[in-house]
Amino acid sequence: MDILAIRQDFPILSRQINGNPLIYFDNAATTQKPIQVISAISDFFEKHNGNVHRAVHSLSMEATDLYEKSRENIAKFINAKSSSETIFVRGTTEAINLIAYSWGLGNLGKGDEVLISLMEHHSNIVPWEITSKLRGFTLKYANICDDGTLDYEDLEDKLSKKTKIVCLSQVSNVTGVINDVKRVARAAHEVGALMLVDGAQSVPHMKVDVQDLGCDFLAFSGHKMLGPTGIGVLYGKREVLEKMPPFQGGGEMIKEVAYSRDSGHCAVLWNDLPWKFEAGTPNIAGAVGLGAAVKYLEKLGMDNVLSHEKKLTKYAIDRLKECSKVTVYGPSDPKQKLGIIPFEVKGLSSHDVALFCDNYGIMMRSGYHCAQPLHQVFKLESSARASFYVYNTEAEVDRFVEVLRELDQL
């Protein structure tokens, strides 16, 4: 990949912050947008804006066509068998809530178990904690090893015939650890459980093939893969989605609502997939923007994206060793992870580190990154986190290390 040419596509990267060129290292939180995505969204509003699926006029047809074409491109991107298995949602959080409420409330009860892990983002913990209180099922957490990798033995010990679903992130948003979700999906299916993969940090950075993984559900967010906020995807196997009731009721998700004077009620016939799960006017421009983001990533090639980030991560981890006060968390072998580096600077809070870097135009996350249980495993209050994407360079890492080395003098 020609990184310097890629950078030209991202207008925000020419900004100065606090008198310094912007270095954007908060990609695990959200990514910047290329001009191709920005133009697809503005083009939609300038030329094609209409509501989808509802009218026979030209603008509605054009909007519907763009919306559904995006769905098809995204379905191909993750190798879904059909675009009807690709549901537009607000993001990963909404996708997981959809499963927890629609599938979970209908299928889980006392004596059942749901298995997640201690490295999950809160959005793959809290929906299951809430629904376990509503339905009385048991929520189990697989342990994490000291280096932040998944304890597969513990996970497999906790799997049993009682397990009804395993929900696991493919890549940790704190350590960048890559989990072998294919192995876990196989083990889950052996006991008759479903497999949900949280792909928020994997789909943007590596080739994810739902048929190869064998997962039943995959959730991801557009804004973490060059697309806009407020749009994401829930992939689900057709046979599983068919049996689930809708998550929300309203327009779009029905075929027919027929009032009967006899019963005093409406008989409701659900719409076909995927629209059964898309109540109300969707984020049409968001879907169009995400379609453009997927096209952009496909042009780069996901293998190239992955290898660029792996190389940069190895380079950064090696160079951070020069900073005497910095401790990096997570596995020491960069092969086990993607471009997310959590670290601590001795004697400073993570917010102080992030604010210090901000003075130099370096944007970085601090706190516990919506993954408090994992920080408890590391016995950390919080961490600073640098995370990379396609437009980041070794020169930026050099500048980052130079800035952090100033902290050695304090």
Contacting positions for ligand PLP (CB under 6 A): 28, 91-93, 121, 123-124, 169, 173, 198, 200-201, 221, 370
Nearer to ligand PLP, 310 or 385 (CB): 385
3-state secondary structure 125-167: CHHHHHHHHHHCCEEEEECECCCCCECHHHHHHHCCCCEEEEE
Nearer to ligand PLP, 28 or 403 (CB): 28
* Dihedral angle sign, alpha carbons of residues 83, 85, 91, 94: positive
Nearer to ligand PLP, 204 or 246 (CB): 204
Query: CA 100 to CA 98: how far, in whole Å?
Result: 6
User: How far from 169 is each of 59, 92, 223, CA to CA, in Å?
Assistant: 39, 11, 17
Binning the chain into helix, strand and coil, the percentages to the nearest 5 are 45, 20, 35
Q: What is the SS3 assignment for 90?
A: coil
Closest distance to ligand PLP from the beta carbon of 220 (Å): 8
Closest distance to ligand PLP from the beta carbon of 336 (Å): 16
Closest distance to ligand PLP from the beta carbon of 93 (Å): 3
- Residue environment code for 63-74, b if the CB has 16+ CB neighbours within 10 A, otherwise e: bbebbbebbebb
Nearer to ligand PLP, 71 or 205 (CB): 205
Angle at 208 between CA 113 and CA 246, to 5 degrees: 50
- Other CB atoms within 10 Å distance of the CB of residue 279: 17
Range 215-220 contact pairs with CB under 8 angstroms and sequence separation of 24 or more = 215/181, 215/185, 216/240, 217/95, 217/99, 218/78, 219/89, 219/92, 219/95, 219/96, 219/99, 220/92, 220/95
Closest distance to ligand PLP from the beta carbon of 192 (Å): 26
Amino acid at 366: S
Nearer to ligand PLP, 201 or 392 (CB): 201
Nearer to ligand PLP, 286 or 361 (CB): 286
Query: CA 104 to CA 127: how far, in whole Å?
Result: 10
Closest distance to ligand PLP from the beta carbon of 91 (Å): 3
With tokens 């901000």, the residue in question is 358
Nearer to ligand PLP, 86 or 93 (CB): 93
Biggest alpha carbon–alpha carbon distance for the chain: 82
Closest distance to ligand PLP from the beta carbon of 373 (Å): 13
Which residues are annotated as catalytic? 370
Closest distance to ligand PLP from the beta carbon of 92 (Å): 4
With tokens 């997962």, the residue in question is 215
Q: What is the SS3 assignment for 86?
A: strand
